[in-house]
Amino acid sequence: MRSSLMTITLSVLLIVLVGWMLVAGRSLLLPFVIALVVWYLINALSEAVRLIPIGTWHMPRALSFPISLVAIFGTGIVLFDVVGANLAQLAQDAPAYQRRLEDLFSQIAQLADLNDPIELRDLLPDSVVQRMVTAGAGFVTTVAGSASLVFIYTVFLLLEQSSFDKKFVRLFANAAQAEAGFKLRAEINRSILHYFSIKTAVSIATGLLTSAILLVIGLPYAALFGFIAFLLNYIPTIGSLIGVIFPSLLALVYFDTLAPFVAIALGLGFIQFSIGNLIEPRLMGSSLNLSGVVIMLSLAFWGAIWGVVGMVLCVPLTVVIMIICAKFESARPIAVLLSADGNIADMPQMPNSGRPAADLDEAS
């Protein structure tokens, strides 16, 4: 009994310590985490390009890798330029939209014949529009400011990735454990790649359709809201809701009639509902096997620690934790609690004996 209590106490202390380190080291960890994502995307895109058949010929990795590298960094530079320009223009127009929103509240109060009219500052803080724009600009500035550090981390990861397998083998005491470790890594990679490939495809479709609707109706900053819809689509549940609210509110204060507001709200709502509830679940299937409650708790946890980046990465991080916990008998109850239906695949556990890891290294 005393041993079990000691184990629980040490586990809780370890969790608290890790959580404190994640929060305290946020400024140092976030650029490296973003670099890991970029490095992973470059390698995944390189493999995808290499597998595209051109007749009977496949592009060699020596050619697909630099193409992927240029594509990822080039796309990032263009996106930040477009988003930064749109945010700068929106920051200039924010005071006018703030006044228009206040006038709209006054008109609603007059139509409702309220004795004590409700004003915007009663519901939202003063200069709410300008503060939201400033917060968005601050986020972009922060990411752009750490871009050089992210680039350096990514370059070093790319230069050293050829030795990762050799180092990974040496982490284990014997060949059986190393082989199980490689299988575990392959399963994690397969799950994350499946998630990111489908999520990226539907996010791109969401962003493009959002921009198209806003361009047709004539709302400014269509490219900015398309990028916001693309980014927010990675955030479970609340991301799609926010992606509809922002452009709808702008349409409410930008146009003189309610027709564009209704059209944008219904159009974007239909896009988010169709993609998020009909198309994406069919493509994603049950491969993630995560509980909805766990996803929301993970969203709150990682969002509190790492902000928007944590919200975007909350699902992959939870999937990794669940897969790793499922491999160890003592941690399998955690994996069962994280899963949607409690069915954890009966995968082989990490063995304790076997050939030395050096033998596996020599055999490979």
Structure tokens at 111: 């139509």
pLDDT score of 267 more than 90: yes
pLDDT of residue 212: 94
Can you tell me the distance from the alpha carbon of 92 to that of 76, in angstroms, rounded to the nearest whole number? 24
How much is the average pLDDT of 223-227? 87
pLDDT score of 215 more than 90: yes
Q: Which of 79-88, 175-184, 232-241, 258-267 has the highest mean pLDDT?
A: 258-267
Higher pLDDT, 364 or 114: 114
> Between 238-254 and 61-112, two packed helices, what is the crossing angle to 10 degrees?
50
pLDDT of residue 2: 63
Specify the range with the lowest mean pLDDT, choosing from 22-31, 83-92, 200-209, 327-336: 83-92
Could you tell me the pLDDT band of residue 143, with boundaries at 50, 70 and 90? low
Could you tell me the pLDDT band of residue 109, with boundaries at 50, 70 and 90? low
Q: How many CA atoms lie within 13 A of 47 on its CB side?
A: 9
Could you tell me the pLDDT band of residue 364, with boundaries at 50, 70 and 90? very low
pLDDT of residue 363: 43
Cβ pair 265, 244 in contact under 8 A: yes
Could you tell me the pLDDT band of residue 326, with boundaries at 50, 70 and 90? confident
Could you tell me the pLDDT band of residue 209, with boundaries at 50, 70 and 90? very high
Instruction: Indicate the helix (H) or strand (E) that contains 120.
Output: helix 120-123
pLDDT of residue 285: 64
Could you tell me the pLDDT band of residue 347, with boundaries at 50, 70 and 90? very low
pLDDT of residue 356: 47
How much is the average pLDDT of 286-309? 81
Over residues 154-179, the pLDDT tens digits come to 889 988 888 888 888 888 888 888 88
Paired residues of 356 in beta bridges: 174
pLDDT score of 124 more than 60: no
Structure tokens at 137: 């600009």
Cβ pair 225, 211 in contact under 8 A: yes
Share of the chain above pLDDT 70, in %: 82
Nearest partner of 298 among 353, 240, 339, judged by Cα = 339
Can you tell me the distance from the alpha carbon of 200 to that of 227, in angstroms, rounded to the nearest whole number? 12
Q: How many helices (H) and strands (E) does the chain have?
A: 15, 2
Structure tokens at 98: 């703030």
> Mean pLDDT across the chain, nearest whole number?
79
Measured between alpha carbons, how far is residue 181 from residues 173, 187, 348 in Å?
11, 10, 11
pLDDT score of 302 more than 80: yes
Share of the chain above pLDDT 90, in %: 7
pLDDT of residue 213: 94
Hey, which bits of the chain come out as E strands? Answer: 53-54, 57-58
pTM: predicted TM-score of the whole model, two decimal places: 0.75
Over residues 18-46, the pLDDT tens digits come to 878 888 888 788 888 888 888 888 888 88
pLDDT score of 358 more than 50: no
